[in-house]
Amino acid sequence: MRRLAVGLAALAALCAVAEARPQRSLASLPSSVAEATTGGMSRPPIGWVEFCRTHQAHCTTDTREPDRITLDTDTWRLIAKINRQVNADIEPVTDKEHWGVVERWSLPTDGRGDCEDYALLKRKLLSEAGIPRRALLMTVVIDETGGGHAILTVRTDRGDFILDNKRNAILGWTATNYRFVKREGQMGTGWVDMDDPAPAVATAAR
């Protein structure tokens, strides 16, 4: 429990910033994966709260949008392209090194950032490309080291897929070996707890 508390209290300081390895993209669609289930309302990360004070337009949910996307080949290619692009273009750096504070969520306009900044930029670019933001959910996990980490969940008719700054491979959420804690809700500005099953082994879509 102590490791979990530390991970959530210092998400940006602990999240991994390793550069993603170049990997091949598949033109074909991925196999269907599990759909994540969520519980009750959860307290948003403080970094998200502070980000939304100055980026309100990025933090509102239009409930008229679909809550998941229909995954066709063109959309899958777009998601893979933006995931690789952001992973390649952003220099990994902790918030302490970047801003002198433990945690700060921001769009990496200067080309530098840590895990949540990668995820925020992917979310922005995918939304601008036409994918409904309601299906693009900022997500907090505990990673394989026991540290806090932020990723982007993309909800689709083939299940929930994860965009991660640690890898270019796009995985189903149960294949990441992360412990899922909370993510953006889809009914407003709040966040929700996640019901996390035991991690499963699956083949990555690269």
- In this prediction, residue 197 carries a pLDDT of 57
Q: Mean pLDDT lowest for which of 12-26, 115-129, 153-167, 170-184?
A: 12-26
Q: Any idea what the Cα angle at residue 68 is, between residues 66 and 70, rounded to 5°? A: 100
Identify which has the larger pLDDT, 48 or 203: 48
Beta bridge partners of 179: 142
pLDDT band (50, 70, 90) for residue 196: confident
**In this structure, are residues 95 and 104 in contact, taking their beta carbons and an 8 Å threshold?**
yes
Between the CA of residue 56 and those of 38, 50, 59, 62, 121, what are the distances in Å?
A: 24, 10, 5, 13, 15
What's the CATH code of the domain at 165?
A: 3.10.620
Mean pLDDT of 94-118: 96
Residue 52 lies in a domain: yes
Residue 5 has pLDDT above 80, yes or no: no
Q: What is the token pair recorded at 157?
A: 């008719």
- In this prediction, residue 206 carries a pLDDT of 37
Is residue 2 classed exposed, middle or buried when 0-12, 13-18 and 19+ CB atoms within 10 A define those classes? Answer: exposed
Domain with 100, as residue range(s), is 2-195
**In this structure, are residues 161 and 173 in contact, taking their beta carbons and an 8 Å threshold?**
yes
pLDDT over 90, % of the chain: 76
Q: List, in sequence order, every beta strand (DSSP E) within the chain.
A: 37-42, 91-92, 112-113, 136-142, 148-156, 159-164, 167-172, 179-184, 191-195
Element containing residue 41 per DSSP (H, E) = strand 37-42
- In this prediction, residue 100 carries a pLDDT of 95
pLDDT, one tens digit per residue, over 49-94 is: 999 999 998 998 889 999 999 999 999 999 999 999 999 999 999 9
Residue 202 lies in a domain: no
User: One-letter amino acid identity for 3?
Assistant: R
Residue 203 lies in a domain: no
Residue 120 lies in a domain: yes
How many domains are there within the chain?
A: 1
- In this prediction, residue 107 carries a pLDDT of 97
